[in-house]
Amino acid sequence: MDFSAFAPFWIVFSLLSAFFHASRIAVTKHLSFSFSARALTLYVNLASLVVTLPLIFWHHDFPFQEPLFTTVVLLGGLISGLGGWALNSAIQRSEVSLVGPVMTLTPGFVVLIEWLVIGDLPGSLGALGLLLLVVGSYVLSVEREQTSLWQPFVQLFREPGSALTLVAAFCFAAASTLGRVGVQMSDPLSFAVVVAVVNPLVLFALFSLQDHRFYREAFPADMRRQLRPLLLLGLLFALMRIADQIALSLTLASYAMAVKRTAGMFSVLLGHWYYGEGHLLPRLLGSAIMLLGLLALTWT
């Protein structure tokens, strides 16, 4: 399916992806008390497959005869799966105030990878927009008890989850760049379907090689009690992935990933409305900086 007519609206799809991502994080927080990081990573991909697979009846452009497409699908599925596992593990081992700022490095990784792989670089105004988005996302994550804006970077080498967060940021950046190649060879919805099929297979094989009894961890006896939130998680993850693929077909991966980092802003609102979280002043400041970044991107 050709989405070129929607090119001026790439930012809308990126913002939708950010909203679905923030909502997914909220549901993941609830489920993380009942499941391990490995099991939860597998569940979200399985549930996403259930939601995404029906699209195959309408969108099935899978050029597997092209070695590059097959490589992108398999490598992208493995890398994005590892990124999800690393992020879930980091959230369990570290504080959100550290994980959040480190994840804002993702757009910077995307710019570097895109330059190395496909030679694309954003323009000067676009680069300014990327910078403002990263700075704004960082400010959103700063807690009042932190002594300086540099403290998260100091903690980067002290907190046990920080290295995993860096791995997650780099994996998501690499997967986005590969996703753009795959989308260009097929179409956004078809690529979303095939990745949804590959990811759980790759993850189950990987986790089973790591622990041959992983199936016991993955399918506990009381799994039925969490079936509805797991399906909701899969729905949010599937919608995020589809919005991602559409945005990647319309603009640079660095732009799409940078706007997706506005998920921090949605997380602030959801946290305030549903969990009574504070620290509104620095987070509102971060939102204002991010708005300037979005304006800079739309003017390029």
pLDDT tens readout for residues 202-216: 888 888 888 887 877
**pLDDT band, very low/low/confident/very high, at 186 (cuts 50, 70, 90):** confident
95 — phi, psi (to 5°)?
-85, 150
Is pLDDT above 70 for 152? no
Lowest mean pLDDT among 186-190, 214-218, 271-275, 282-286: 271-275
Indicate whether 114 pLDDT > 80: no
> Does the structure show a pLDDT above 60 at 145?
no
197 vs 148, more confident:
197
pLDDT at 226: 76
pLDDT at site 4: 57
- Using one digit for the tens of pLDDT, what is the confidence trace for 71-85? 988 888 888 888 888
Percent of the chain clearing pLDDT 70 (strictly above):
69
pLDDT at 154 over 70: no
- Mean pLDDT, range 158-184, rounded to an integer: 80
How would residue 158 be classed by pLDDT, with cut points 50, 70 and 90?
low
Band (pLDDT 50/70/90 cuts) for residue 147 is: low
At residue 98, does pLDDT exceed 60? no
Most confident of 5-14, 147-156, 244-253: 244-253
Provide the pLDDT for residue 238. Answer: 80
**pLDDT of residue 155 exceeding 80:** no
The reported pLDDT for the residue numbered 164 is 84
* pLDDT value at 113 more than 70: yes
**Which range has highest mean pLDDT (45-54, 216-225, 227-236)?**
227-236
